[in-house]
Amino acid sequence: MKKTIVLLLTLLFFAACAGQKRTEDHSVKLEYQAYSRGFYQMIRVEKQMVFVAKRREEKPIGYKINYADWTTINTAIEQLNLDSLTQMKAPTDKRLYDGAAFANLKITKQGKTVESPSFDHGYPPVAIEKIVNKMLSFVK
């Protein structure tokens, strides 16, 4: 009788585990950083929230963004080929002679993180221009 109960409980346990569906991580996280000797700006967007820090040692301040802005960012990310993000070329080279701050964009989607090469703050590559400009609009 004890063996039957143990066997039955074991079967129920494994059946319950097999019945659970895995939830995929559909979250999107964006992080934009711009920096030079006297300038720092970090903008992180995730789960309809924006976090902004203007100094390296500062704790980011967060606030909620509206649904339209969140949808605009998600639509732009869907249109972007994430694999090509690491191959993008900067349209200008002002950062190389202190004409602009260094900037980069990091996108984490479904657990995969992709980071762009550095580009000039305010002059992003065309493919990510819409995303970067929208993120910068949250700071203004």
**What is the mean pLDDT, run by run of 10 residues, along the chain of 140 residues?**
66 61 65 94 95 94 94 92 89 89 94 93 93 91
Structure tokens, 140: 């203004």
Q: What is the pLDDT of residue 25?
A: 45
Q: What is the dihedral of CA 21, 22, 26, 28, to 10 degrees?
A: 150
Name the strand (E) or helix (H) holding 78: helix 67-79
Whole-angstrom CA distances from 124 to 30, 52, 81, 83 are 15, 19, 16, 17
- Please give the pLDDT value at position 23: 45
Looking at residue 17, its pLDDT comes to 58
What pTM did the predictor assign?
0.78
Interhelix angle 129-137/67-79, rounded to 10 degrees, is 160
The two tokens of residue 125 are 């590559």
| Angstrom distance (rounded) from CA 125 to CA 115 | 13
Given this model, what pLDDT does residue 45 score?
Answer: 96
What value, to the nearest 5°, has the Cα angle with vertex 63 and ends 62 and 65?
Answer: 135
Structure token digits, residue 63: 């606030």
Q: Do residues 103 and 109 touch, judged by C-beta distance below 8 A?
A: no
